[in-house]
Amino acid sequence: MIPAPTYLQFHLVFSLPVLAALWYLAPRHVGRRRRRAAAGIAVLVAIAYAYTTPWISYMIRRGAWSYADGAVVVRALSVPLGEYLYFAIQTLVVAFALHRLGFDPTFRDSDFDRLPRAAGVLAGVAMLGGGLWLASRDASLLYLGGVIAWVGPVLALQWAVGGGYLARTPRTWLAATLLPAGYFWIVDRIAIGMGTWRIAEEFTTGIAILGLPIEEMIFFFAAGLMAVNGLVLFEWVLDWNDRGTAAGSPAEEADADTRLVPEPGDD
């Protein structure tokens, strides 16, 4: 019997090659756009580690998923090294895919419309409450409820900040979320089939598509969605700040003062 590949071997075969390909295909921004893109990616990777590690650690300790004997080399807080690598790899894959597809972070006044922002906040809060309720209702709903509750607060915050922008650019963030998620669905199914990791039946609903538990599909979509929204909003906020700074620059203020001085002959 062929032993299951280790987590690091999985990355070498399935994760790192696609990451390298997307890095190669990603546009080479220059100047300020390049600096902002790099800063946004760095910030999102840091947030991914800070926000995801406690949740992943809890789910692993509960037994929602486990790993084949010998598949894990090092653990920290019950989380394998391979999972920590996944946090950065998935964020980078999503980021390079987003920049390859392209997006416009230009701020518009309508981006601060209250309706989409309020709707997004309500949806995120509902996801948090609903997810926690599901997870506490039955063991088979732990993973499903946990992932819904995990993503809810982030989506609420993102839509509170830039709900108007996200509402007018759905093609951007949906495409950049679905394409990487589709790839991760495929390789995740392969890893499960090879036995590198296992999803516990007692903590899942049993609903699967082509052998991939629906909870795993939601996880990869949700993680990608949070990353995409974070990346586009990072540059959108900076563009909004640029416009506010330009509007309040000394030159603008001087022009405004000049316009307030009465011309000779004015009453």
pTM above 0.85, yes or no: yes
The pLDDT value given to residue 206: 94
Q: Which residues pair with 79 in a beta bridge?
A: 76
The pLDDT value given to residue 243: 84
Burial 132-159, CB ≥16 within 10 A → b, else e: eebbeeeebbbbbbbbbbbbbebbbbbb
Pairing mode of beta strands 75-76, 79-80: antiparallel
The pLDDT value given to residue 70: 87
**Local structure of 246: helix, strand or coil:** helix
- C-alpha 15/C-alpha 88 separation (Å) is 11
The pLDDT value given to residue 249: 59
The pLDDT value given to residue 259: 45
8 in Cβ contact with 81 (< 8 Å): yes
Distances (CA, A) of 220 to 51, 242, 243, 254: 15, 33, 35, 52
The pLDDT value given to residue 135: 95
- C-alpha 103/C-alpha 106 separation (Å) is 9
What does each of the 267 residues of the chain score in pLDDT, given as a tens digit? 567 889 999 999 999 999 999 999 999 888 999 999 999 999 999 999 999 999 999 999 999 999 998 889 889 989 999 999 999 999 999 999 999 999 999 999 899 999 999 999 999 999 999 999 999 999 999 999 999 999 999 999 999 999 999 999 999 899 999 999 999 999 999 999 999 999 999 999 999 999 999 999 999 999 999 999 999 999 999 999 988 887 665 544 444 444 444 444 444
The runs of H, that is alpha helices, within the chain are: 7-10, 16-25, 31-62, 81-101, 114-137, 142-168, 170-194, 214-247, 250-260
The pLDDT value given to residue 265: 46
The pLDDT value given to residue 73: 85
The pLDDT value given to residue 19: 96
Q: Which two tokens stand for residue 145?
A: 């409820």
Q: Which two tokens stand for residue 46?
A: 């840091």
